[in-house]
C-alpha cells in the first residue's frame, strides 16, 4: 500500500510538472507573430511522416543515422513496457499483461530488450563521438558549457535507464525460475539474468528487481521533466514542427504586407497619397525583427525543436570559410532569448522591458551579414528548421528601420537603383563589349 501511494504521488507530480513546463513552452511560442501554415494538409502529413517519423533526412549521413534510429526505435517501442509498469504501480500488480497476452507478451518484451541493447551500443558510440573522437561540429564554441553537458547528461541517463531495465528483468527471470522452475523466455534477460544473479536468495533477488523497477520509472520521470529544459525536446516537437514546415520552394522570400500595400498604392494613379489610414486600422508591424516577439510562432517553435546536431553549421559555406555565422547558434540564441522573455513576462507582466533584444545582445550584425542566403542550413536540418528566415528578418530590420548596411552592399544597391544592375555601367553601356573587334 505504501509503495502504491508513493507511486501515485510520483505519477501525479511527474506528469503535473511536465504539463506545467509544456504550458510555459507553448506560451512562449505563442508570443510570435501569426503565420498561415494550415494549407495543403495532405502534403503536410506526408512531410511529417517522412521527415519526423521516418527520419528521412537523417540518412544523408549513414553511420549517425543508424545509431540515431536505434535510439529512436527503442524510445518509441519501450513505451509499451512503460504502460505496463504504470499499470503495475497503480494496482500493485506484477507483469499485469503477461497472462492475458501469453506468447505475444514474450515477443514484445524480447523485442524491447533487443532494442535496448542496440540503444546501449548507440549511446556508447555517441559518447565516444562527442567526447573522445571530438567531431568538429559537436565541439564548436557555441557547444561549450551547458550545451555539451546537456548532451552528455541525456546519454548518461540513457545508460542508467537500460541498466535498470536489465536489472529488473534479469533478477525477475531468476526469481521466477526459482519459484516456478520455468523461464520467461525473454531474448536477453533469460541469459543475462542467470549470469549476474544466480546463487542469490529470493529476498536479494526481490531487492534487485525492485531497484531496477523503481530506477526505471524514476529515470523515465526524470527524463520526461528534463526534456523541456533540454535540446532533446525535439523528441516531441519534431512532429508538429515538420507538419508546419514551409512548403514553398527554398529561396522564395516573403514580402511584408504593409510594404506591398504601399507599393500598390504608389502604382495606382487613382490613389490619394495624402489620404489618412482607414479608421480603426492597426499600426503597421515592425519592419523585420529586432526581438523574438517580432518573429513568427513557427520561428519560435523552430528554436525549441533544434537538436543542436550542427548539420546546418557544418554545411554552411560562411562558417566553413571561417566567418562568424553559425546557423545552429542562431537557433540556440533565439531559444535562450525566448525563454528569458517568457520568464520575465510571467514574473513581471506582459509590459516588462528588460532593455535587451535578440539582435545586438545575442546575435551580432557580423553574423547576419556573413549569410549568403544559400539555404544549405535549411536543406540539411533533419527536422525542417529554417534558420535563414530568422537571419533575413533580422537583416530586414537593420536595413529598413536602422539604415544599417555594409558599404559593399550599399554600393551594389545604389547601382541596382540607378543602373538596373549591380555593376557601375549604365543600361546603354552594358552591351558595348559586343561591338568591340
DSSP string computed for 258-288: HHHHHHHHHH-TT--TTPPPPTTPPPPPPSS
Say yes or no to pLDDT of 32 above 70.
yes
Neighbours of 239 (CB within 10 A): 17
The least confident of 57-71, 175-189, 253-267 is 253-267
pLDDT at 295: 94
The least confident of 150-154, 214-218, 419-423 is 419-423
pLDDT at 318: 94
233/237 Cα distance (integer angstroms): 6
192/204 Cα distance (integer angstroms): 17
Q: Helices (DSSP H) in 244-364: which residue ranges?
A: 257-267, 297-305, 311-314, 317-320, 327-348, 358-361
pLDDT at 48: 95
Mean pLDDT of 180-190: 90
**Percent over 70 (pLDDT), the chain:** 97
pLDDT at 427: 67
Say if CB 332 and CB 307 are below 8 A apart.
no
Say yes or no to pLDDT of 41 above 80.
yes
At the top level of CATH, the class of 257-263+287-419 is: mainly alpha
Confidence of residue 338 (pLDDT cuts 50, 70, 90): very high
pLDDT at 280: 67
Say yes or no to pLDDT of 16 above 90.
yes
pLDDT digits 0-9 by tens, 58-103: 888 888 889 888 888 888 888 888 888 899 899 888 888 888 888 8
Say if CB 330 and CB 393 are below 8 A apart.
no
Mean pLDDT of 252-278: 76
The least confident of 53-57, 159-163, 251-255 is 251-255
Q: Which residues are CB-neighbours of 54 under 8 A, at least 6 positions away?
A: none
pLDDT digits 0-9 by tens, 303-325: 999 999 999 999 999 999 999 99
Say yes or no to pLDDT of 279 above 80.
no
Domain boundaries, the chain: 2-239, 257-263+287-419
> In the structure grid, which three cell numbers stand for residue 252, read together?
522564395
**Percent over 90 (pLDDT), the chain:** 54
**Comparing 431 with 5, which gets the higher pLDDT?**
5
Q: CA gyration radius for the chain?
A: 28
> In the structure grid, which three cell numbers stand for residue 278, read together?
482607414
pLDDT digits 0-9 by tens, 188-197: 999 999 999 9
Mean pLDDT of 192-206: 90
Say if CB 174 and CB 197 are below 8 A apart.
yes
> In the structure grid, which three cell numbers stand for residue 307, read together?
537538436
343/339 Cα distance (integer angstroms): 6
pLDDT at 417: 80
Confidence of residue 281 (pLDDT cuts 50, 70, 90): low
155/223 Cα distance (integer angstroms): 11
Say if CB 304 and CB 131 are below 8 A apart.
no
Under DSSP, is residue 33 helix (H, G, I), strand (E, B) or coil? strand
Mean pLDDT of 365-387: 94
**Comparing 281 with 90, which gets the higher pLDDT?**
90
Q: Which residues are CB-neighbours of 220 under 8 A, at least 6 positions away?
A: 82, 161
Neighbours of 256 (CB within 10 A): 16
| pTM of the predicted model over 0.95 | no
In order, the DSSP letters of 382-396 are: TT---HHHHHHHHHH
pLDDT at 362: 95
Confidence of residue 199 (pLDDT cuts 50, 70, 90): confident
pLDDT digits 0-9 by tens, 383-426: 999 999 999 999 999 988 888 888 888 888 888 888 877 887 77
**Comparing 433 with 139, which gets the higher pLDDT?**
139
Helix, strand counts (H, E) of the chain = 20, 0
> In the structure grid, which three cell numbers stand for residue 72, read together?
529512436
In order, the DSSP letters of 153-171 are: HHHHHHHHHHHHHHHHHHH
Amino acid at each position: 500500500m505504501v509503495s502504491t501511494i508513493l507511486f501515485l504521488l510520483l505519477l501525479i507530480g511527474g506528469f503535473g510538472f511536465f504539463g506545467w513546463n509544456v504550458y510555459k513552452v507553448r506560451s512562449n511560442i505563442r508570443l510570435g507573430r501569426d503565420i498561415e501554415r494550415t494549407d495543403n494538409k495532405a502534403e503536410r502529413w506526408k512531410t511529417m511522416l517522412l521527415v519526423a517519423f521516418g527520419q528521412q533526412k537523417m540518412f544523408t549521413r549513414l553511420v549517425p543515422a543508424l545509431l540515431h534510429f536505434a535510439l529512436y526505435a527503442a524510445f518509441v517501442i519501450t513505451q509499451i513496457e512503460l504502460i505496463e509498469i504504470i499499470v503495475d504501480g497503480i494496482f500493485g500488480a506484477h507483469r499485469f499483461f503477461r497472462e492475458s497476452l501469453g506468447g505475444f507478451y514474450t515477443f514484445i518484451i524480447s523485442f524491447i530488450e533487443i532494442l535496448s541493447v542496440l540503444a546501449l551500443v548507440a549511446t556508447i558510440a555517441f559518447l565516444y563521438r562527442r567526447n573522445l573522437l571530438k567531431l568538429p561540429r559537436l565541439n564548436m564554441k557555441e557547444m561549450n558549457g551547458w550545451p555539451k553537458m546537456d548532451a552528455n547528461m541525456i546519454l548518461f541517463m540513457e545508460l542508467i535507464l537500460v541498466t535498470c531495465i536489465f536489472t529488473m528483468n534479469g533478477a525477475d527471470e531468476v526469481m521466477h525460475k526459482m519459484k516456478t522452475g520455468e523461464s520467461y523466455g525473454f531474448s536477453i534477460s533469460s541469459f543475462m539474468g542467470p549470469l549476474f544473479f544466480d546463487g542469490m536468495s529470493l529476498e536479494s533477488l526481490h531487492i534487485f528487481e525492485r531497484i531496477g523497477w523503481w530506477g526505471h520509472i524514476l529515470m523515465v520521470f526524470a527524463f520526461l521533466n528534463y526534456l523541456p529544459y533540454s535540446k532533446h525536446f525535439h523528441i516531441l516537437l519534431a512532429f508538429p514542427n515538420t507538419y508546419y514546415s514551409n512548403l514553398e520552394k527554398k529561396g522564395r522570400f516573403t514580402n511584408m504586407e504593409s510594404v506591398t500595400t504601399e507599393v500598390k498604392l504608389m502604382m495606382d494613379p487613382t490613389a490619394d497619397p495624402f489620404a489618412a489610414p482607414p479608421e480603426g486600422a492597426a499600426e503597421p508591424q515592425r519592419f523585420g525583427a529586432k526581438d523574438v516577439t517580432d518573429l513568427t510562432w513557427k520561428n519560435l517553435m523552430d528554436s525549441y525543436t533544434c537538436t543542436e546536431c550542427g548539420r546546418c553549421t557544418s554545411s554552411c559555406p560562411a562558417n566553413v570559410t571561417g566567418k562568424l555565422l553559425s546557423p545552429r547558434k542562431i537557433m540556440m540564441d533565439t531559444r535562450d532569448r525566448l525563454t528569458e522573455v517568457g520568464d520575465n513576462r510571467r514574473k513581471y507582466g506582459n509590459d516588462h522591458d528588460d532593455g535587451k533584444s535578440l539582435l545586438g545582445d545575442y546575435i551580432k550584425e557580423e553574423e547576419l551579414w556573413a549569410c549568403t542566403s544559400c539555404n544549405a542550413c535549411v536543406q540539411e536540418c533533419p527536422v525542417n528548421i529554417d534558420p535563414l528566415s530568422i537571419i533575413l528578418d533580422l537583416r530586414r530590420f537593420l536595413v529598413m528601420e536602422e539604415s544599417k548596411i555594409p558599404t559593399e552592399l550599399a554600393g551594389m544597391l545604389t547601382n541596382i537603383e540607378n543602373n538596373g544592375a549591380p555593376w557601375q555601367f549604365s543600361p546603354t553601356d552594358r552591351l558595348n563589349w559586343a561591338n568591340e573587334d
